[in-house]
Structures are given as C-alpha cells and as structure tokens.
Amino acid sequence: MKEVVERMRPLFYPKSVAIVGASDNPTRFGYARLKCLLDFGYKGAVYPVNPRLAGKEVLGLKCYGSVLDIPDEVDLAYMDVSARTALSVLRDCGKKGVKAAIIFAGGFSEVGDEGRKLEDEIQAIAKETGMVILGPNCIGVTNLYANLCTFALNLGNLNLDARSLEPGKISLIAQSGTLSVSFLLLSLVRGFHPGKIVSSGNEVVVTLTEVLEYFVEDPDTKVIAMYIEAVRNGRKFIELCRSTTKPLVALKAGKFEAGKSAARSHTAAIAGSVEVWNAVCKQAGIIQAESFEELYELSMALASPLRPHGNRVAIVSVLGGPAVIASDACERQGLRVPKLTEESVKRLRQILPPIASVTNPVDTTGSVMENINMFRDALEVVCQDPNIDMIITMPPIMHAPSLINISRAVVDAARQYGKPIVVVWALPFGVKMREFEEAIRILSEGEVPHCYMPERATKMLSALLTQTELEKKKAKARGF
Amino acid sequence: MKEVVERMRPLFYPKSVAIVGASDNPTRFGYARLKCLLDFGYKGAVYPVNPRLAGKEVLGLKCYGSVLDIPDEVDLAYMDVSARTALSVLRDCGKKGVKAAIIFAGGFSEVGDEGRKLEDEIQAIAKETGMVILGPNCIGVTNLYANLCTFALNLGNLNLDARSLEPGKISLIAQSGTLSVSFLLLSLVRGFHPGKIVSSGNEVVVTLTEVLEYFVEDPDTKVIAMYIEAVRNGRKFIELCRSTTKPLVALKAGKFEAGKSAARSHTAAIAGSVEVWNAVCKQAGIIQAESFEELYELSMALASPLRPHGNRVAIVSVLGGPAVIASDACERQGLRVPKLTEESVKRLRQILPPIASVTNPVDTTGSVMENINMFRDALEVVCQDPNIDMIITMPPIMHAPSLINISRAVVDAARQYGKPIVVVWALPFGVKMREFEEAIRILSEGEVPHCYMPERATKMLSALLTQTELEKKKAKARGF
C-alpha cells in the first residue's frame, strides 16, 4: 500500500474523534459539528473537549477539559476554536499523539502577516509530530464510507437521514468549504452520491496535490472532481494526473483578473492565467468543467462504467421540443446525430405508431406512456444499431408511471448493450413528485447519468468521449 | 383596444369551456384535461362533451352528446379527439358559434401530405367562421389570470394547489408542448410565476407572431419569453419586436443541421440558419438565451422592475469560493468588478469583523449569520457606493434563519436603493429545506431574481444591461 494511504487514514477513517470546542449551545458550530457527526452514524469513539464543560455531558457524551485528559487514543481532532487558540490545542494534540487534525477557523494568512506567522507555527508542529493537519480556513472532510462528516450540517433542517446515504464513486477536493457542502447537497438532489469530499482551505500542511495523490490510490474513488483556485505544487500535480486513468474533472476559478484578486483574499493563494491552466489540463489529461453544476454532472457521467466507441448519438425521445434542442446541442459539441440503418428504421416502423418519427431523433410520441413495451423495444433497436455509439433519451414529463417504467427500461438497456445512455428530464429538479424521486433513484442505482435540459447531456457525452481517448492514450504511454 | 386583444379574448379569458372528448376514465387525457381545469379553479361554465356519456355526469358535470346540444354559448372548445374526428367536431363548433378552439392531436402536416390536407380544412373553417384555432399538435394555453390551464397536469402528483398560484409578469410562447409545461413547473420551483403560456403547435391559424402581438398589447405581460423552432411571418415578427419596449427573450432551436431536421418532423416548420437568426435578434432587439433554463432565468431577471445605469458589479458574499467564481464570470460577461470608494471601504471596515474582506468582492465572513444587521449594513454601504451599478449577493448555505433574514434584507435594499440585486444560492434547488423555500418566496414576492451558481447571475445582470440599452434605443427611435 502506498504511503499516502496509510498517512491519510486517520483523516478519512479515524477510529476515534475528539471535538475540541464542543458546545452544549445549539447555535454554536461546536455543537452542530458534534451533532452532525453523530447524525451521520459515525461508529468510532467520540470525545467532546471543552474546559468549561469538563466532566459534564454534551449530547449524551462525556466532555473532557483537554485532549490530554482523554483516556484513549485519538485519531482525529476537530479544532472548533479560534485561530489563536487552535495553536495551543494543536500543541496538546502533539503531546497526546493525535494523528490528524482539522483546523476550521479563518484568520490566518488570508488576513495578513500575523496570520502567516500562525501558519508557520502549524507547519512546524506538523513537521515535529508528523500530524496530518487539514486547513486552516476549511470545513474538513466527508467520507460516506466511514459515516464521517465534519461539515456541521443541520440534518433536521434538510429532512435527511444521513445514516442511510450510500457512498458513491465520486471524490471531490475543493478549495472552498461552501462548494464542498454544495457538492454534497447537489448529489443528494441528483442521486449519484460522492464517496469522499475534502475542503482543503489554506493548505498549510495537507495540500490539494496530496489529497489528489490519496484519491488516485484510494480504491473506492473512481472519479476525481476538483474545485481549484490555485495549485501549489504544479509539477507533482501534473505528474499525478498523468499517472492515473481515473477520470479527472476540474473547475478552475480565479482564471480572470477579478477572480484572481478574489481568490487571493479567499484562500491566500496565487492563481495562474487562463492560458497556463488550459495547457496544464491538456498536458495532465484533465476534463474542464465550465461551472460548478457541470463539475458535478460531468463527474456523474464519468462515474458510469460505460464508455463510447465513437461520437455518434441517437436521440430517443417522447418529447418533441427537447429533441430538437438536443440535436442542436450535439452538433455544437462535435457529436454526430447520424442516420439509423435501414434495418433499424424498418423495425422502428413496426414498433412505433404511424405518427412517430423513425429517423434520428426518434420521436416515439406519447403513445409509449400507455405501452412501455413500445418504448423498450424502440430503445433496443437503437442500442443495437451499429451506426450508434451513445444515446440520449427523454421520458415524458407528467405521466408518473412512465417516469418509473422508462427509467427501468433504460437501466436494463444500458446494462445489456453497454452503450452509454443519458436521460434528460424536462422536469426541473425540485418538482415535488414522488415518482420523479423514485425514477432518479432507479437511474442512480443503475448508474445511468441524468440531467435537466439537453445541452447538459451533450456535454456529459462529450466528456465520456474525451475520457475514453485519454484512457487509451494513458494506457499506451504506459506501454500497455 | 387593439383588435388582437379582442380576437384572442376567448382563448385566454373564455367565459365558458366545452371539453370535447371528456372522459370518465382517469387514464385518458379527456379526463385529465377536465380535472386539471377544475383543479386550477376555473370559474366559468364547463361542459363535458362525449356522445358515449351523453346525459351522464363526468366529474360532477353534466355531459353532452355534441357541442350543438350545449344550451348556452361556448367561448372555447377543447378538441380532445383524434386528428380526423377533430375536423367534424370543428365543423359543429362552427355551427354552434364557438369562438375559439384548441386542437391537441398530432398527426397533421408533421406526418405528411394527408395531414397537410386536414390542416387546409382547418384553415378553411377558420376563414369561414372567424374561429380562433390553436394547434393542432399543441397542448394549448395556461392563463393564471383566468385560472385556466389546458395542460392536463396531474396536480395530485405534484402536490400542488393551483388555485393559489399568483399570476406573474412573464408570458411564454413555445413551439413545444413539453417546454410549455416545463416552463410552468420550473417557475413553481423557482418562484417567479408566469402569467400566460401558449403552446402554438403547427400554427395552422394562430401563429407565434399573432400570440406575440397579443402579448405586446396585453397589459399583464411585462416580459415575453419565446421558444422558437421557426418563424412563419418574419417581417411582421420583427416589426412587432421593434415596436415594443417589453423585454423579449428567445431560445431558438433548430439552428444547426441536426436540429433543423428534428424541428421539421416536430412541428413541420422550416428553420433558418444561425447567422440569419443572429441578425434577426440584433435587428429586432431580442435577447438570446442559450438554454431553456436560461430562457427562464433571463425572463425572471427582466421581470424585475429595476434597471442598471452601468456595468459595474459589486459582490457581497458570505461565501468564499462562489465569490471567486462570480468575479471570473463577471469578467467573462463583460461586467466590471471595480474598487469600492475609500468611503465605502472605511465604512465596511467599521461594520465587518477584522478577518472580513472589504475590497470588492466583499467577503462578510460567516459572522453575519449571527448578526443580520452586519449584513444589512454592509449591503447598504455597497448599494450607496457611486462606483456600483448592480450587486450579486450570496447568502450562507446551511444557516436556516439567515436564509430568511438575508432574503428580507436584500428585498429591502433593492427597493430602497433601486439597484438590481441578484441572489446566488449555493443551495441547489430541490434541497428539502422549509426555510429555503420560504426564502425563495420572499425574494420572488420582492421581485429579486435568484439563481443557483454565480455564472447564471452574471448572465442575468448582463441581460438587464442589454435590455436597458434596448429600451433607450427603442424610445429614441420613437422620438421620445
């Protein structure tokens, strides 16, 4: 096993957690953080620490006056204290032999020289003790494989039972706490869950590049998503990216002048130029996302195990307008919408009603709502067509049973024929409809990516195509 | 009053509706259409028509064997029957003196010559009787001002009480039934409601251009959104667009080769080239949307009464990462993120905690979650800054009370200072959180546009800027 996996273990899979600054006041982060950890169903030992509450109970757990008072070993310590206090607590952690720590507080190098000095001290402690320190100015780690979440989410507000969240294949490194939470929440709405999320903050000890190294080695991570304001160790970063065939998707912010100065005050990093970044992505084999939602959606597409053999797309739609938009969007993305074979056209004519369109895009018409076999058979014909590499399909929007039936048929077809399929909903996420939620669950479980509005689907398919080429190129470079 | 308003009245404000093809079978459109109309709280007389059910009751209403049997006047007749049957029913409607009819069925010119002949007959009946006929191959009209909806929505599925839907300022003409429904559902999720929506289908009698003419005259319509596959009466269309200062936002599909052929089989129209369309938009003063969601979001922004005086944007954020993305996105959209005045910087330093960033973007830090006055005061300083024309603001994501408090503060500031503000949520729509829904309601009521992810906000601000220039230009052209 690679050294990085062993080194990062206490951060991602701690056997015990101390929450320094734990509070009995529900309005404080020190309370929310503890509650969130318990709500996620974390199974290791949890030790609240707060001198003011020493000997009392917080959320049913005995509170200690100092980490030094904890009778057992501590793998991971949360520092829910101010910048200045964090340093003295960190020294205690060093004495105690704590293996990893997360510093949440801001007020370090991003605010000036005084903060920079504090960071130097953190670095010195890390060097001396070997402690793995994440932050400061971050929100830490979520690892659904270990029921671990340091994000202080109020799950009551979210109507969420976090214990039952299935861990997924996507891991995210984000130089933004907000976007770490946002990614997690987006995945709850959209159905493809992440496995691990890291908010890396000011990266005094653990850097984005080191987390990347860990994700490259982590067997549960199949897709690596990144929100990057600045890379501190460029050469190593590029080497790592080139070394892996795991899909890498990145959203780079701070590309432009205005963004750069904002990034500087955000995490105290120096951001590079657009051109430099584009060159890095090309060299390193990184797929670029143009927005945060796209970062999630491309990760979702790449988390599906299917890869296309070419750029030829069939559109199988119950809907007219979105099919037209999808055709346009394919062309804009350099994807082709070719003719189906004569054989396919003949078979489709037998299957579909006379008013259906049996050219590509295939417009099944709404008749399939009353006859799911019709949709299933038409989809099969298209999947079997040798002219077709990938499929975009669009279920009807208001017919509840077909939402579920079509989702099932799509999952079956993707499994059987091995061609990537993306489902495009004309139903906006957030519409209150039980069957829609169920359909999303079916697709996610079946690893069929899905999105709202066709332009997104073509970007997803285009990313699949790029990744397929990257995988070939990387495999070849390694001499396979 | 313009002739078009009087002519279209029975389509948008019918005093009575006959539903031909009404059914007592809940799986049929003829049932769903009637139920939907009643669920929307339509207040006029409703007459189900179905020879098989003559004299019986459907959903508590007496059913007639033919429109000719209805004892009272009929303003609007739904044709929930097949293409062929529609013609004979339409003739009955002519005899009865029905003023408007909607033909839902497909199977007309989009499937070939035989269908084209049927359309010729429809046209002849319209000419002879003066009936206003919408469709065929459409889903009709929603007019929240008249509690009218012909979309056959299953409101039980959607957990929706449609009677209480406040009508809004945005009206949509769409050459797609799906996108008509999708626009309505999106508006329910996002909070800015439409007023009127028309799905125009094959446009045998009533065309997109005629509906546009109506919306230009309709006093309740303040923004006109359009989903266009092809314009049939180009010169009149451009004239109308040029004649109005109401914001016009359009998504054009069928721009590319693939899309064009799809559009042809969808609504039997011939689509033009990208270049032609770009020229039309420029000449006509139309703001182009690049996706369907953008069509909605730009309409939402333009529905707000505030207009900017320049392109200088301030970003006031509780969040770091999204502020960096927003800065980048402003630059990409040609918006400036200038320095605040020294006076503003000084005042912000007094208001915000020491670790806050008081340059633009202003990063208030999370302290404002515990002290809403801090946020309110900081926002006021920025609104008063003479260097600033528009504001993007980003509330925290998980602190439920600040979602509501910040929304209220933003509505107040927009009202008081008259500068456009867009709220960017890092919370994806669809997250289950009561306070988030409440915050969306507050913003919508206060006419403050909002979106998910900062790139969208900059597009909205950029559209506001374009519209301001268009309004000036159009006013000048008219000699004001």
Q: Is residue A479 part of a domain?
A: no
Upper half-sphere CA count for residue B239 (Cβ side, 13 Å) = 7
Q: Find, in chain A, the residue whose alpha carbon is nearest to that of B295.
A: A453
Q: Is B357–A265 a contact, with Cβ atoms under 8 angstroms apart?
A: yes
What was the pLDDT predicted at B258?
62
* pLDDT reading at B467 higher than 70: yes
H/E stretch holding B439 reads: helix B434-445
Question: Who among B106, B293, B428 is closest to A453 (CB)?
Answer: B293
The Cα–Cα gap between B86 and B20 comes to: 9
pLDDT tens across B239-258, in order?
999 999 999 999 998 766 66
Are A206 and A354 within one domain? no
Around Cβ B341, how many Cβ atoms within 10 Å? 15
Are A190 and A330 within one domain? no
Question: Who among A177, A398, A453 is closest to B292 (CB)?
Answer: A453
What was the pLDDT predicted at A217?
97
Lowest model confidence (mean pLDDT) among A251-265, A321-335, B201-215: A251-265
Instruction: Tell me which of A475 and B264 has the higher pLDDT.
Output: A475
Please report which confidence band the pLDDT of residue A270 belongs to, taking 50, 70 and 90 as the band edges. Answer: low
What would the mean pLDDT of A294-298 be, rounded to a whole number? 97
Are A127 and A29 within one domain? yes
B258 touches chain A (CB under 8 A): yes
Q: Is A255–B328 a contact, with Cβ atoms under 8 angstroms apart?
A: yes
Question: Who among B251, B292, B400 is closest to A154 (CB)?
Answer: B400
Question: Who among B151, B361, B398 is closest to A181 (CB)?
Answer: B398
Question: Who among B151, B255, B337 is closest to A328 (CB)?
Answer: B255
Are B347 and B446 within one domain? yes
Are B312 and B438 within one domain? yes
Question: Who among B159, B253, B397 is closest to A325 (CB)?
Answer: B253
What was the pLDDT predicted at B269?
57
The Cα–Cα gap between A249 and A368 comes to: 37
Which of A27, A203, A324 should one mutate to test binding to chain B, selecting the residue with the greatest count of B CBs within 10 A? A324
- Interface A:B, Cβ pairs < 8 A: 247
CATH of the domain at B13: 3.40.50.720
Within the 137-156 window of chain B, which residues sit less than 8 Å (CB to CB) from chain A?
151-154
Q: Is residue A341 part of a domain?
A: yes
The Cα–Cα gap between B23 and A75 comes to: 67
* pLDDT reading at B450 higher than 90: yes
CATH of the domain at A202: 3.40.50.261
pLDDT tens across A440-465, in order?
999 999 999 999 989 999 999 999 99
Around Cβ A474, how many Cβ atoms within 10 Å? 17
The minimum CA-CA distance between B53 and chain A, rounded to whole Å, is 23
- With contact defined as beta carbons under 8 Å apart, do B66 and B22 qualify? no
Q: Is residue B147 part of a domain?
A: no
Within the 30-49 window of chain A, which residues sit less than 8 Å (CB to CB) from chain B?
none
Question: Who among A257, A397, A426 is closest to B331 (CB)?
Answer: A257
Strand pairing report for A170-174 and A140-143: unpaired
Q: Is B429–A428 a contact, with Cβ atoms under 8 angstroms apart?
A: yes
| Both tokens assigned to B450 | 């909002």
Q: Which residues pair with A78 in a beta bridge?
A: A19, A102
What would the mean pLDDT of A333-346 be, rounded to a whole number? 96
B186 touches chain A (CB under 8 A): yes
Which of A255, A293, A328 should one mutate to test binding to chain B, selecting the residue with the greatest count of B CBs within 10 A? A328
Q: Is residue B142 part of a domain?
A: no
The minimum CA-CA distance between A314 and chain B, rounded to whole Å, is 11
What was the pLDDT predicted at A264?
66
Q: Find, in chain A, the residue whose alpha carbon is nearest to that of B112.
A: A355
What would the mean pLDDT of A237-252 be, rounded to a whole number? 96
Within the 268-327 window of chain A, which residues sit less than 8 Å (CB to CB) from chain B?
290-293, 315, 319-327
Q: Is B177–A320 a contact, with Cβ atoms under 8 angstroms apart?
A: yes
Within the 39-98 window of chain A, which residues sit less than 8 Å (CB to CB) from chain B?
none
Are B285 and B311 within one domain? no
Last residue of a domain, one of B268, B303, B338: B303
What was the pLDDT predicted at B480?
56
Q: Is B432–A181 a contact, with Cβ atoms under 8 angstroms apart?
A: no
Are A311 and A292 within one domain? no
Helix axis angle, A83-96 relative to A113-129, nearest 10°?
10
Please report which confidence band the pLDDT of residue B276 belongs to, taking 50, 70 and 90 as the band edges. Answer: confident
Helix axis angle, B177-190 relative to B292-303, nearest 10°?
50
B229 to chain A: which residues are within 8 Å by CB? Answer: 321, 324
The minimum CA-CA distance between A374 and chain B, rounded to whole Å, is 18
Question: Could you give the angle at the alpha carbon of A317 between the alpha carbons of A315 and A321, nearest 5°?
Answer: 100
Q: Is B337–A258 a contact, with Cβ atoms under 8 angstroms apart?
A: yes
Q: How would you class A130 by CB atoms within 10 Å of its CB: exposed for 0-12, middle for 13-18, buried for 19 or more? A: exposed
Q: Is B189–A433 a contact, with Cβ atoms under 8 angstroms apart?
A: no
pLDDT tens across A38-57, in order?
999 999 999 999 999 999 99
User: In terms of pTM, does the model score above 0.90?
Assistant: yes
Domain range spanning residue B370? 305-470
Residue in the structure block whose two tokens are 């003949």: A346
The minimum CA-CA distance between A157 and chain B, rounded to whole Å, is 6
| Sign of the four-CA dihedral A408, A413, A418, A424 | negative
pLDDT tens across B105-116, in order?
988 988 888 899
What would the mean pLDDT of B113-121 be, rounded to a whole number? 94
Q: Is B178–A322 a contact, with Cβ atoms under 8 angstroms apart?
A: yes
Q: Find, in chain A, the residue whose alpha carbon is nearest to that of B425.
A: A182
Are B185 and B86 within one domain? no
Are A58 and A188 within one domain? no
Please report which confidence band the pLDDT of residue A389 belongs to, taking 50, 70 and 90 as the band edges. Answer: very high
Are B429 and B457 within one domain? yes
A25 touches chain B (CB under 8 A): no
Are A126 and A259 within one domain? no
Ramachandran assignment for B334, one of left (phi > 0), alpha (psi -120 to 50 degrees), beta (any other): left
Q: Is residue A142 part of a domain?
A: no
Q: Is A428–B185 a contact, with Cβ atoms under 8 angstroms apart?
A: yes
What was the pLDDT predicted at B271?
57
The Cα–Cα gap between A227 and B331 comes to: 19
Q: Is residue B107 part of a domain?
A: yes
B256 touches chain A (CB under 8 A): yes
Global ipTM: 0.91
Query: If we measure between CA atoms, which residue out of A331, A403, A399 comes closest to residue A361?
Result: A331
One-letter identity of residue B407: S
B267 to chain A: which residues are within 8 Å by CB? Answer: 320
What was the pLDDT predicted at A368?
84
* pLDDT reading at A401 higher than 90: no
Are A27 and A108 within one domain? yes
| Both tokens assigned to A340 | 């189906």
Q: Is residue A151 part of a domain?
A: no
Last residue of a domain, one of A254, A273, A303: A303
Q: Is A157–B354 a contact, with Cβ atoms under 8 angstroms apart?
A: no
The Cα–Cα gap between B330 and B457 comes to: 9
* pLDDT reading at A257 higher than 70: no
B265 touches chain A (CB under 8 A): yes
Q: Is A254–B328 a contact, with Cβ atoms under 8 angstroms apart?
A: yes
Q: Is residue B148 part of a domain?
A: no
pLDDT tens across A144-187, in order?
999 999 999 998 888 889 998 999 999 999 999 999 999 999 99
* pLDDT reading at A383 higher than 90: yes
Question: Who among A259, A336, A430 is closest to B430 (CB)?
Answer: A430
Q: Looking at the 3D structure of chain B, how many domains does it have? A: 3
